[in-house]
Amino acid sequence: MIEQTSDPIPQDLYDAFSSAVREYAEWTQLIAPEPQVSFESRQCAISEICEMVMMWPKAKKTGLPDSDFNVLYDSARDRGLKEKIGRFSNYYVCASCLLELIDGRKELARQIKERRGDR
């Protein structure tokens, strides 16, 4: 069962992950570099933010806010990922799914560049 714990996600990580979800949703150019967000006074790739969220001890027990959940759910095109996000709407699973989406986008961009002869 997902709960709101007495030890919530640190505010700076919460803000960074929320921004990462939105940046992914707005990442429309296939061959554009991975978006970055601000975290602790530096720029981090959104995949790095996902990895930090997954290491947070309460990530599996804390549900994602509805606003972030809705953006992430709508961004997932793969039916299996949508089901996973919908079934386990905690930070850990949602960060893992976002990471999967990012990796898929990077792989698609790599394939496009390869076909065009870009290096």
Find the helix or strand (DSSP H, E) in which 83 lies. helix 79-87
How many structural domains compose the chain? 1
Residue 115 pLDDT greater than 70, yes or no: yes
Q: Does any domain span residue 106?
A: yes
Question: Distance (Å, rounded) from C-alpha 49 to C-alpha 87?
Answer: 22
Q: Does any domain span residue 3?
A: no
Asked whether 46 and 20 are in contact (CB, 8 A), the reply is yes
Give the domain range for residue 28. 11-116
pLDDT, averaged across the chain:
90
Q: What is the mean pLDDT of residues 62-87?
A: 93
Residue 2 pLDDT greater than 90, yes or no: no
Tens of pLDDT, residue by residue over 7-46, are 678 999 999 999 999 999 999 887 789 999 999 999 999 9
Q: Does any domain span residue 5?
A: no
Q: Does any domain span residue 80?
A: yes
| Beta bridge partner(s), residue 63 | 90
Q: Does any domain span residue 1?
A: no
119 pLDDT tier (thresholds 50, 70, 90): low
Of the CA atoms within 13 Å of residue 41, those in its CB half-sphere come to 0
- Kindly report the pTM of this predicted structure: 0.88
Q: What is the mean pLDDT of residues 55-70?
A: 93
The percent of residues in the chain predicted with pLDDT above 90, rounded, is 73
113 pLDDT tier (thresholds 50, 70, 90): confident
The predicted structure's pLDDT at residue 71? 96
Q: Does any domain span residue 4?
A: no
Q: Does any domain span residue 108?
A: yes
